[in-house]
Structure 1
């Protein structure tokens, strides 16, 4: 089974700093836009959770079809 993951670092102001797609799946033409859409849809949930817990790993915070959003939050609130 071919899998892929998208790794994105987001600044405190919700600006993507770094993005990398890793895996063995064939890249779709719209994957970059899809990942950005899912990222911005999940940021509201992440910001609410970041202030309610002291954990740095927030696990699976959101899902879109077969894609899962897992989040690490630094002390400086870099996501």
Structure 2
């Protein structure tokens, strides 16, 4: 996530791809990942990564007045 793309056509159509406006996961009750979690398998770690937003908002989502299409590459919170 975190890599949103804004496309504007010559005709003025606004299309957002994976336009994530969230801040990420900020708190967890358990500081450890579930056994077999994807990141645990990939990185070999046990502590839960914070998944906080690390990039600034380039566009103010509240200033957007017209979107013609919103596309998400898959169903995760950091893609829409």
TM-score range, shorter chain: under 0.3
Greater percentage in helix:
1
**Structure 2 length as normaliser, TM-score?**
0.24
The structure whose RCO (Cα within 8 Å, separation 6+) is larger is 2
Higher strand share: 1
